[in-house]
Amino acid sequence: MIHVYVLVGIGVLFQTLGSLALHRFPDVYTRLHGATKCTTFGSIFIYLGVIAYGLSLPNTGIILGAHTMLVMLLILTTNPTGSHAIARSAHRSGLMPKKAIVDKLMEDKK
């Protein structure tokens, strides 16, 4: 049972780091990157903790694990896709990063 607590603890740690990224980083792109990476990674560990806990249940563990795997798959596809859409719309609206070195999207417009 200790492995469940370790997995959920790691997940909560990464979720906390993702929320700190929203307050710490200077512009929308780095905030979005930090929050998306940390919350996706943290969610994976929390879901793995739920699956590990579900395997210890006598009757409903497999059903809980299957549902959690489905939710994990959905989070792994929608979280990066949503953050990409937000970053692309921010760029199209003219919001530039604080320190842009290479801007491939701007080069494509020319």
Residue 47 CA to residue 68 CA, distance in Å, equals: 6
Q: What is the mean pLDDT of each run of 10 residues along the chain (110 residues)?
A: 92 92 86 89 93 86 89 93 91 79 63
Q: How far apart are CA 50 and CA 17, in angstroms?
A: 21
Instruction: Quote the pTM value.
Output: 0.79
* Tokens, residue 68: 């959690």
Domain with 38 in it: 2-109
Residues 6+ apart with CB under 8 A from 93: none
pLDDT of residue 99: 72
Tell me what pLDDT residue 74 has: 94
Question: How many structural domains comprise the chain?
Answer: 1
pLDDT of residue 26: 84
